[in-house]
Amino acid sequence: MKKVGFVHSDEYLRHDTGAGHPERSDRMKTIVQHLKQMGSWQNLLHISPAPASLDWITTVHPEHYVHTIERRCLAGEEILDDGDTHVCRDSYGVAVLAAGGVLRGIDYVLDGTCDSAFCAVRPPGHHAETANVMGFCLFNNIAIGARYAQRKFGLNRIAILDWDVHHGNGTQEIFWADPSVLYISLHQFPLWPGTGRSDEVGDGAGKGYTINCPMNPGSGEPEYVQAFEQRILPALHQFQPELLLISAGFDAHTDDPLANICLTEHSFGVMTDYVLDVASRHCKGRIVSVLEGGYNLDALAKSVETHLSGLATV
C-alpha cells in the first residue's frame, strides 16, 4: 500500500460558525469517527499542522486583507460577507492553521515522507479571492499551497483539480493569467457562485490554463466520467504537472443538501483512480488533496474514506 498522510487537528473544531450553519465542526468529527470505525485510521500517517506564516499567506492575499480578517474576527464579528461566511474570535487563527495544514501536507509529499496527503482542514478555501472573503472561505488554502510548492520546492507546473460541486471562483481568479498553474473545475452550473462557464479560460499568458466543465443539475457518474475522459485527462497529460492538488469537495454527492448532482462515494473513487494514473505518469504519484465542501455528514465521511482508500492503492 502507498503511504497516505492525513493532516488534522482538533484546533479546527474551534472555528465556530453557529447553529444551523452547514460548514460546521461536526464535519471534522464525523470524518475522524468514521475512519476510526472502519479501521482506516491506523493506516494513515498522521500529520500535525503548523500555522502558515504571513509571508506564505501573502503570496496570494494582500497583507492588509489578512490583517483585516484578523481584526474583524478578534473584534467578535460573526459574519464577514453578505451572509454566508460565519466566524468567531478563534476563526482567524484556525484559518491560518488551515492554510498551514496544506503546507505541511505538501512538505511531507514533496520530501518523500508519504506518497500523497489528504488535508482535513477547515475553514475551506476555494471561494476566497485575492482580497475577498466568500462562501465560508477566508484564505484560499490550495492557492497558498500552490505558491508554496513553487517557491519553496522550485516546481514550475502545478495542476489544481477542483471537484467541489460549487465552482472555485477564488482559485480561478487568483491564477486567471498564470500559465504555471492549470486550474480545472467540475461543478454544477447554474449554481452559486454563478461563475465557471466553459468559455472562462483565463487571460493573457494564462489563456487556456483555466478549464471549466459545468455539469447540468442531475448529472451523475457517467457524465463525470465523460468529462474526465474527453476534457480533463487530455489537458492534464498535455500539461504534465509536477504536483497535482485536489480541491476535494464532496458536496456533489447525491445526498448533499446544497446541490443537485448525483455522485456516490463510488464516484469519488473513480475520480481518484483517474488522478492517480495522471500523477503516476507525470509527477511521481505526488498528490495533495484538500478538503473543501461536503455537508451531508454520512455522505462526506464515506466519500472521504473512499478517496483515501483510492490514494492508498498500489
**Strand, helix or coil for residue 214:** strand
Q: Which of 273, 307, 312, 290 minimizes the C-alpha distance to 121? A: 290
What's the gap between Cα 185 and its chain centre?
Answer: 11
Residue 127 designated active-site: yes
Q: Tell me if 291 sits within 8 A of 121, measured CB to CB.
A: yes
Angle subtended at Cα 190 by Cα 187 and Cα 195, rounded to the nearest 5 degrees:
70
How many other C-beta atoms are found inside a 10 Å radius of the C-beta of residue 222?
Answer: 10
Active-site choice (61, 126, 127, 166): 127
DSSP state, residue 213: E
Contacts of range 210-213, beta carbons closer than 8 Å, 24 or more positions apart: 210/172, 210/175, 210/176, 210/183, 210/184, 211/182, 211/183, 211/184, 211/185, 211/235, 212/167, 212/172, 212/184, 212/185, 212/187, 213/184, 213/185, 213/186, 213/187
For the record, the C-alpha cell of 103 comes out as 503546507
Instruction: Kindly list the catalytic residues.
Output: 127
